[in-house]
Amino acid sequence: MKYELQKTDSGSKARAGKLTTDHGEILTPIFMPVGTAGTVKAVHQRELKNDIQAQIILGNTYHLYLRPGLDILQGAGGLHKFNGWDKPILTDSGGYQVFSLKDIRKISEEGVKFQSHIDGSRHLFTPENVMDIQRVIGADIIMAFDECAPYPCDYSYAKKSMEMTHRWLKRCCDRFDATEGLYGYTQSLFPIVQGSVYKDLRIQSAEFIAEQNREGNAIGGLAVGEPADKMYETIDYVNDILPQDKPRYLMGVGTPENILESIALGIDMFDCVMPTRNARNGMLFTTQGIINIRNEKWKDDYSPIDETLGGYTSTFYSKAYLRHLVKCDEILAAQIASVHNLTFYLWLVGQAREHILAGDFTEWKKVMVKKVMERL
Ligand SMILES: CNc1nc2c(CC[C@H]3O[C@@H](OC)[C@@H]4OC(C)(C)O[C@@H]43)c3nc(N)[nH]c(=O)c3cc2[nH]1
C-alpha cells in the first residue's frame, strides 16, 4: 500500500492525501463505514457505492471468525468475494471486542481466552493466530492485536497494558512478515498506539509504533469515555511523533465535531458505529444540523430528509414519511436512515478534503462544526 501526502493545511495539521491499495484508491481524510459482520447494517452494496460513495469499509476479526467462520470465508476466496465489496476493506483485530466481553475473557502474555457471545464456545486469540485469521478474511489493511486499556485506568495498569501491547505487536509483525496473502493481493499491517491518557506513556508508545516503520499507524485507546479535550490533547502530541508520510487512523471516532477537530490535528482515517447505530433509533445527521426524527415536530414536514446533501435517499424521502416508518419500526426506516447518515459522513470528510486543498479549512471548519452539531 502507498500513501501520497497531497497537501498539508497552512493554518492547522490537516492533510489531504491518497492511499493506493490493490483494491483501489482512498482519498483522505476518509470515513470508513463499519461493517462488523461483513455487512454495513441495513445497507446494500450498491448504496455504499452510489449514494454513500464509500471508498473503504470495516470488518471485524472477532465477529467474522465466530460467524460465518474461517472455512466459509476461505471457501469464498476471502471477504471481498463473500460480500461482493470489491474496494478496500480494513479489519480490526478483535482486541477491542474481546476486551469488551468483560466477564467471559482472560488475558495473559500468550493472548486472550474468551467465550463466544453467540454460543459460549471457548476460544484463544493470540497475536499470531489473529494475523492468520486476518490473512484468511483478506482485508487490505489489518490491525495489530492490542489491548485497548479501559478508561479510566491507573498509571500502572496503563503502563503494563501498553508494554504487553508492544510485545504483542512484535509477535504480530514477525508472523505477518513470515506469511503471505492467500488471495494474490497485498495486505498491510497497522500498529496501534496505546498508553491511555498518560502523556509519557503515549509518547513512548507513539515512538515505538513509529519505529516499526509500517505502512500506516493507528491511535487506539481513545473514544472510550474520556473527555473530548483529553482525546484532542492526546491526538495532538501523538501526531507530532507519528511520521508525516504515513496515514493516521483514529479508531472508533466519532461525532461530526470529533472528526473535524481530529482532522485539524492531523488524522486521516476514521471509523465509528454512530452514523449507523444512531440511524436505527432515528438520530439523523444533516447539513443543517441534528434531527431526532421521532420528535412530533417532523410529523407533517413533507420536505426531503436533506435537500442539499444530494444522493437519492436523502432527497427522495420526506422527513414525515421517515418519521412514520421509524414510529412503525419498519425495516425500511433503518435502511433509509443508515444510508442517509453514511452519505452525510462521507460528504463531511469529502468537504474537509476540498477545503484543505482550497486552503480555507480552518475558517470552513469553525462554521461547519457549529452548523452540523446544532440540534434542530
Ligand atoms: C468506539 N470507540 C473505540 N472503538 C475502538 C476500537 C474498535 C473499533 C472497532 O469497534 C467498532 O467501533 C466500536 C468498529 O466496528 C468494528 C468493525 C467492530 O470494528 C471497529 C479499537 N480497536 C482496537 N483494536 N484497539 C483500540 O484501542 C480501539 C479503540 C477504540 N475506541
What integer pLDDT is reported at residue 293 of this predicted model?
Answer: 98
Q: Is the pLDDT of residue 310 over 90?
A: no
Nearest atom of ligand 1 to the alpha carbon of 60: 17
What integer pLDDT is reported at residue 102 of this predicted model?
Answer: 67
What integer pLDDT is reported at residue 243 of this predicted model?
Answer: 98
Res. 146 pLDDT band, cuts 50 70 90:
very high
What integer pLDDT is reported at residue 96 of this predicted model?
Answer: 87
With contact defined as beta carbons under 8 Å apart, do 96 and 73 qualify?
Answer: no
With contact defined as beta carbons under 8 Å apart, do 356 and 9 qualify?
Answer: yes
85-139 pLDDT per residue, tens: 999 999 999 888 887 776 778 999 999 999 999 999 999 999 999 999 999 999 9
Q: Is the pLDDT of residue 10 over 70?
A: yes
What integer pLDDT is reported at residue 330 of this predicted model?
Answer: 97
Q: What is the mean pLDDT of the chain?
A: 97
329-346 pLDDT per residue, tens: 999 999 999 999 999 999
What integer pLDDT is reported at residue 159 of this predicted model?
Answer: 98
92 is catalytic: yes
| Active-site entry in 92, 140, 268, 306 | 92
Tally the C-alpha atoms within 13 A of residue 339's C-alpha that lie toward its C-beta. Answer: 25
Q: In testing the pocket of ligand 1, which one of 32, 96, 107, 231 has its CB within 8 Å of the most ligand atoms?
A: 96
Annotated binding site: 92-96, 146, 194, 221
Cis previous bond, 68, omega within 30: yes
Q: Which residue from 186, 60, 197 is spatially nearest to 134, judged by alpha carbons?
A: 60
Give the pocket of ligand 1 (CB within 6 Å).
Answer: 34, 36, 58, 60, 92-93, 95-96, 143, 146, 148, 192, 220-224, 251-252, 271, 273
Dihedrals φ, ψ of 289, to 5°? 140, -175
364-374 pLDDT per residue, tens: 999 999 999 99
Q: Output the CA 325–ligand 1 centroid distance in Å.
A: 30
Q: pTM (2 decimals)? A: 0.98
Q: Is the pLDDT of residue 355 over 80?
A: yes
First to last CA, the chain: 42
Q: Output the CA 62–ligand 1 centroid distance in Å.
A: 11
229 is catalytic: no
Nearest atom of ligand 1 to the alpha carbon of 148: 27
Q: Is the pLDDT of residue 326 over 90?
A: yes
Q: Output the CA 266–ligand 1 centroid distance in Å.
A: 19
Nearest atom of ligand 1 to the alpha carbon of 63: 18
What integer pLDDT is reported at residue 175 of this predicted model?
Answer: 98
Mean pLDDT for the stretch of residues 277-295: 97
Q: Is the pLDDT of residue 72 over 90?
A: yes
Q: For residues 46 and 48, what is the distance between their CA atoms, to the nearest angstrom?
A: 5
Residues facing 95 on adjacent strands: none
What integer pLDDT is reported at residue 202 of this predicted model?
Answer: 98
Proportion of the chain above pLDDT 90, given as a percent: 95
With contact defined as beta carbons under 8 Å apart, do 360 and 264 qualify?
Answer: no
